[in-house]
Structure 1
Amino acid sequence: MLAALLGACVPGLSQAASPQAWPDNATDLVAAMHAGRLAPDSLVRRYRARIARTDAGPDGLHAILALNPDAVAQAAALARMRRVRGPLYGLPIVVKDNIETRDPLPTTAGSLALVGNLTHRDAPVIARLRAAGAIVLGKGNLSEWANFRSAHASSGWSAVGGLTRNPYDRARTACGSSAGSAVAVAAGLAMAAIGTETNGSITCPAAVNGIVGLKPTVGLVSRTFVVPISTSQDTPGPMTRTVRDAALLLGVMAGSDPVDPATADADRHRADYLAGLAPDALRGRRIGVMRFAQGKNPDLRAVFDTALARLRALGATLVEIGTFDAKTMGEAELTVLLSEFRAGVNAYLAQTPAAVKTRDLTALIAFDTEHADREMTWFGQDMFEKAVQAPTLSDPAYLTARTDARRLAGAAGIDAMLAHDRLDALVAPTIGPAWMTDPVLGDRPGDGTGAGTLAAVAGYPHLSVPMGRVRGLPVGLSFIGAAWSEPALLAMGYAYEQAGPVAPAAR
């Protein structure tokens, strides 16, 4: 399927991106380059020009934190190679700026404290993408420190990159923390991006920007050289226009990494995610409907009901799930995140280049205080301050909280729901429509849901696909399953997507 023009995908964006039609998804872009109809270096130049027009400046989207100055040369060199070209040949991607790349770009996590963090190395997940032919177009803006600095933060804001704006309504949030990655894909600044998630940081921005986002099972994709929050919950994942594109990228990204113990079983569970995609993949499936996570917005509920009707029409059997108490799970999760963040960020900062002067969390807090006029213009660092006081990783309080969180979200949560009614997956709205950005009061989601938190705490996969619109704003449909169930979730999401355009706006 072709877009009328490259990037002409969101209301209000320029319709003059290219004098000819280009593919509007990553799979077809790669096919065009394999066939010689499109040169990788030409494509990179087109994207750079579009980014210059729509992303920078006071009225820009601010999705791209920094462009890779070597991207054109890398794309041209790739085109000259005569060996077999990979499955992502020539595909420009945006990488969230908490993931290291060997390009001449620092990995800042959005913080001024890390502007000297130029490591000249690829995270293993980036090495896999590059070996498959992908080009790092640039770094995506993000919620600073992946939204773990303050409970009162505005998603998508960082001291380095400013505020990422939602292309459907620039006064509204792009969510976070993978805000720039999501907006880059939604606004046609790239057809694919890499985000990271601890709890909602891929799926929420995917939903409110109208794209596909996949948080894989924790341990399917390496986290080495990714600025950490939680060893229990962190994972990179693909953000794309289509489910097929997400499957394409995941097939490259997945795999074991000897430096990341969580990935020990990744090679055993890695699959051919494209092979299982079929329009009839929902036929005969039993799907649990998480009513407790649908929110109270009547327009959102109406779009969700339309989505459920589509699932039935595609042959799925729906089973209602009414309640789930997430309070105790959430309390345990916070203890886990605070403890693991302190340990993880101390270890990460200790091995950064000498140009980075903040070598641990205490020094980082001092840095933000010293540079409060730039770092703490809108919100503080209360989460940092709590993390300094959190239990150590050997403390019984942490160990109990980790055990409780995993049990409540996994065995007593998702696993129990699936087993009780012999279900293949669970569905719910990913989150409500994008809320107004308020840097003074911080994020105020009007209709948060518990679906994503369950998958995040359990470490299980979570796929968000476009579900429809509420008063013109995109909302997503979540498919959640057991650990390592990515092949089934992608197949079901693909079948839903292929049934036709998503539901129209409720109003």
Structure 2
Amino acid sequence: MKKIIVLFSFFIIIISCQTKEKLPPVVFEKYDESKDIEQQQDHENPRMKFVLFQSKVLDLNTIFKPFEEDLAYFSEQDYQSLKPLVLEQDIPSLQKSITEGKLNYEKLTLFYLYRIRKFENDPKKSLNAIISLNPNVIKEARELDKNKKEVSKFSIYGMPILLKDNINTKGMPTTAGALALKQNNITDDAFIVKQLKENNALILGKVNLSEWAYYFCSGCPLGYSAVGGQTLNPYGRAKFETGGSSSGSGVAVAANYAVAAVGTETSGSITSPSSQNSVVGLKPTIGVLSRSGIVPISTTLDTPGPMTKSVIDNAIFVDAMLGYDTSDAASKEIKESYLGDGFQRQLQGVKLGVLKPILTDSIYALNIELLKKTGAEIVEITPPEISFNGFLTLLNIDMKYDLPKYLANSADKAVTVKSVKEVVDFNLKDSLLRAPYGQQLFDGIVKDETTLEELEIVKENLKGEGEKYLASLNNENLDAILSINNYHSGIAAVSKYPTLTVPMGYKKTGEPISLTFIGKPLSERRLLEIGYLFEQLTKSRKLPENYK
């Protein structure tokens, strides 16, 4: 009986494809960007004086080739009919539509593939967010549709997810945006990717990033990589910065290219692009999520984290990546669910620290007043002056040792570069293609002769200074300290404190701005709960105007 049903379903699919008109293939063509580059030189921000927009090495025709047949039967009419069910919808809403039979995982996946192709093939709207796509994702979606039983509305099951392209993923190269890794770095899945797959998430593809997680060139554009080209902000294409280094993750979520994306952070690399693209980003306590199989900067500070359109999705997503990893020395066994039975509905009893020096920001001040009026207890703080000496030294020496370990143990054996120095030498052979903005930070790593003993002192000093700045969390028994965007991400990083950033509005120019919650170690559940209350109170996030 089961075989008859499967065969019947198969024939229905065949018949429906035959009755629908087959659309001609869409061809991606490079456009003349010379005028755009010329105009960009007048930008007031030196980091946005781009030398190029489009990738010189990616061919989106090749990337989309595996989907040509399926997309040939997915029309603009299909896309438009699914938009109300998919666009800006959170995971519970998507799962509800699927349970009710209005949607399925295959259609959801096709919707995102069509949408990515639609905008990335438009010279006026392309965001250069995608580096690769999973060629098997439609087949995997069909399998999940076929095997679906009772799926919780709070499940990651069947949700198409994008990964920052410094995260090892089977079947797609892991490049960190660098040509040194583009051809040969075919790996197994990183630990968090295995967790996502075990929880039946669909890995849709890999997204662009600031090359080597923005610890490569100095003063260069955020969101640029030699592999992916220049990532652009959907709220102001080539007008506003994308934030970095998880630029593609922030941009892709903001533009609704997937349900959610994974970013990674050393210092601000989740909070910055989340803030700049009006999405929710969680930088968890080091060790909450595994770092195994991720191209590193610093094992001291690195962590992956979820980037989503809503706080509820963020909690669902981080739950799906949890797991104790014996190969990551910092890994923690987290037994609680970050979503649990849901979040509290009132701000009464929530105690928040407000930083006096940034109360001059009118949007920040307005949101603080709103929190106060709605029941939160507000404590104004004037933090002490601290020293941040040695921060670059920490990153330099960690990367000098951590990158070779990744290349030796987690990269494909065919990758020829084995150290930072060898990457520098590789790039010098064709610097216009491989490093058009230079590689000043990599040069600095090579020259830095700080010993490991000296490094330990630097780390301890920085941690102490960071904890001193955030001492009110303990002294005043605060649930969180409130910041703007990634203003205090470096301080939270060296303290090893988690941060959650949630959209709080838009400047007069239309540029997004977010409220960032800094909490004590392992307080992610509480941060998500407070972030959810704030999100429901303000409902600030808006879909970018040109991507509706």
- TM-score for both structures, normalised by structure 1: 0.86
Structure 1 residue 82, shift from structure 2 partner: 5.2
Give 1:136's match in structure 2, choosing from 203, 208, 223: 203
Going from structure 1 to structure 2, the CA distance change for 1:19 and 1:197 (only over 3 Å counts) comes to: same
Going from structure 1 to structure 2, the CA distance change for 1:35 and 1:90 (only over 3 Å counts) comes to: farther
Q: Distance in 2 between matches of 1:208 and 1:226?
A: 24
Counterpart AA for 1:473: E
Structure 1 residue 293, shift from structure 2 partner: 4.8
Structure 1 residue 418, shift from structure 2 partner: 1.3
Match of 1:453 in 2: 490
1:420 to 2:470 alignment: no
Which runs of structure 2 are paired with 1:394-433 in the superposition (5 Å)? 395-410=452-467, 412-414=468-470, 416-431=471-486
Contact 1:464 1:479 in 2 (8 A): yes
After superposition, what is the alpha-carbon deviation per residue over 1:12-48, rounded to whole angstroms, capped at 9, x for unaligned? Answer: xx99942242142233223333444321111111111
Q: Distance in 2 between matches of 1:405 and 1:97?
A: 29
Give 1:204's match in structure 2, choosing from 247, 272, 277: 272
Match of 2:441 in 1: 383
Counterpart AA for 1:191: V
Match of 2:337 in 1: 271
Structure 1 residue 98, shift from structure 2 partner: 0.3
Contact 1:203 1:464 in 2 (8 A): yes
Structure 1 residue 261, shift from structure 2 partner: 1.0
Q: Distance in 2 between matches of 1:176 and 1:107?
A: 18
Give 1:370's match in structure 2, choosing from 408, 426, 429: 429
Ranges of 4+ aligned residues in structure 1 off by more than 4 Å: 14-17, 82-86
Give 2:228's match in structure 1, choosing from 129, 143, 161: 161
Structure 1 residue 137, shift from structure 2 partner: 0.7
Q: Distance in 1 between matches of 2:185 and 2:193?
A: 15
Task: Specify every segment of 5 or more residues in structure 1 that has no aligned partner in the other structure, as ranges.
Answer: 1-13, 432-448
Contact 1:221 1:266 in 2 (8 A): no
Give 2:505's match in structure 1, choosing from 468, 484, 490: 468
Give 2:286's match in structure 1, choosing from 200, 218, 221: 218
Q: Distance in 1 between matches of 2:244 and 2:285?
A: 19
Q: Distance in 2 between matches of 1:119 and 1:213?
A: 28
After superposition, what is the alpha-carbon deviation per residue over 1:267-315, rounded to whole angstroms, capped at 9, x for unaligned? Answer: 35x43434351221x2112111023356xxx6xx111111101211221
Contact 2:90 2:312 in 1 (8 A): no
Partner SS, residue 72 of structure 1: helix
1:348 to 2:414 alignment: no
Match of 1:478 in 2: 516
Structure 1 residue 243, shift from structure 2 partner: 0.5
Give 1:304's match in structure 2, choosing from 348, 351, 364: 364
RMSD between aligned alpha carbons?
2.1
Q: Structure 1 vs Structure 2: percent identity of aligned residues?
A: 36
Structure 1 residue 401, shift from structure 2 partner: 0.3
1:112 to 2:184 alignment: no
Q: Distance in 2 between matches of 1:406 and 1:232?
A: 11
Q: Distance in 2 between matches of 1:289 and 1:503?
A: 22
Considering fraction of residues, name the structure with more helix. 2
After superposition, what is the alpha-carbon deviation per residue over 1:156-208, rounded to whole angstroms, capped at 9, x for unaligned? Answer: 00000001100011022111111111111111111211000011111111111
Contact 2:174 2:187 in 1 (8 A): no
Match of 2:54 in 1: none
Q: Distance in 2 between matches of 1:16 and 1:417?
A: 53
Contact 2:383 2:469 in 1 (8 A): no
Structure 1 residue 84, shift from structure 2 partner: 6.1
After superposition, what is the alpha-carbon deviation per residue over 1:336-363, rounded to whole angstroms, capped at 9, x for unaligned? Answer: 1111011111111224223321121111
Partner SS, residue 138 of structure 1: strand
Match of 1:436 in 2: none
Of residues 56-65 and 244-253 in structure 1, the stretch that sits farther from structure 2 once superposed is 56-65
Q: Distance in 2 between matches of 1:112 and 1:130?
A: 28
Task: Specify every segment of 5 or more residues in structure 2 that has no aligned partner in the other structure, as ranges.
Answer: 1-75, 543-548
Match of 2:546 in 1: none
Q: Distance in 1 between matches of 2:355 and 2:449?
A: 34
Q: Distance in 2 between matches of 1:357 and 1:452?
A: 34
Going from structure 1 to structure 2, the CA distance change for 1:91 and 1:152 (only over 3 Å counts) comes to: same
Going from structure 1 to structure 2, the CA distance change for 1:194 and 1:34 (only over 3 Å counts) comes to: farther
Match of 1:325 in 2: 385
Higher relative contact order (CA 8 A, sep 6+): 1
